[in-house]
Amino acid sequence: MKDGVLRAQKDRLLEPLARIVGSSLSPNLISILALLPGLLSAAAIVRGELGWGIAFWLLNRLLDGLDGVVARIHGTQSDFGGYLDLLLDYVIYLAIPIAFAWAAPTPAHTWTLIALLASYQINSLSWTLLSSLLEKRSLAGQNRLTSIEMPAGLIEGAETVVFYTLFFLLPGQIPRLFGLMAGLVIVTAGQRVWWAWGKLE
């Protein structure tokens, strides 16, 4: 919901670092490197080391934000890069809540994790199928924020970062946070279905 507003601010903050890093690292390599702290974050959660977990999580988000800025500044944007970035994001978005449920395998954690993962699947279909149809009809926007057309919704990248950070800060509230996020993600999918109904009829 806030991605469009925050995108310019993020790019401005990361631009100095991107100019330095981009001279030696490609955006795709940065995307791949971002995977490591993301997976280390999940491993730290399983071990109960939430301090390390949140540190690795924030490093993952920093690198994830950096790859796109490097690509834009150095003119190295590519469809494969956008695809790789989204794919690796999903790996981490799945690994971290699974790690929290693994670390505390109570029925509440398990069932709310299932609800959260199911909402992710429904939401993913709500925009990936729509993106394909928009491309087919040449309706994709020219000012979109990602390589793939993704209509705006209630839960986007910024809101996901907030929720996942809260997982670390409020581990005793994980079932409630999982359940709340699952509900809001379903609302987001519904927003995109509503948007598609108006555009594709």
Residue 5 pLDDT level (bands cut at 50, 70, 90): low
High-pLDDT (> 70) share of the chain, %: 88
Q: What is the pLDDT of residue 186?
A: 96
Q: What is the pLDDT of residue 179?
A: 98
Task: Give the domains, in start order, of the chain with CATH numbers.
Answer: 3-200 (1.20.120.1760)
Residue 60 and residue 41 in contact, taking contact as beta carbons nearer than 8 Å:
yes
| Mean pLDDT in residue range 164-169 | 98
Please state the three-class secondary structure of the chain as a single string: CCHHHHHHHHHHHHHHHHHHHCCCCCHHHHHHHHHHHHHHHHHHHHCCCHHHHHHHHHHHHHHHHHHHHHHHHCCCCCHHHHHHHHHHHHHHHHHHHHHHHHHCCCHHHHHHHHHHHHHHHHHHHHHHHHHHHHHHCCCCCCCCCCCCCCCCCCCCHHHHHHHHHHHHHCHHHHHHHHHHHHHHHHHHHHHHHHHHHHHHC
pLDDT digits (tens, 9 = 90+) for 52-81: 999 999 999 999 999 989 988 888 888 899
Q: What are the Cα distances from residue 58, in Å, to 82, 136, 148, 193? A: 20, 37, 24, 32
| Mean pLDDT in residue range 1-20 | 72
Gyration radius (Cα) of the chain, Å: 17
| Mean pLDDT in residue range 160-174 | 97
The pTM (predicted TM-score) of the whole model is: 0.86
High-pLDDT (> 90) share of the chain, %: 57
Tokens for 16, please give them: 């100095």
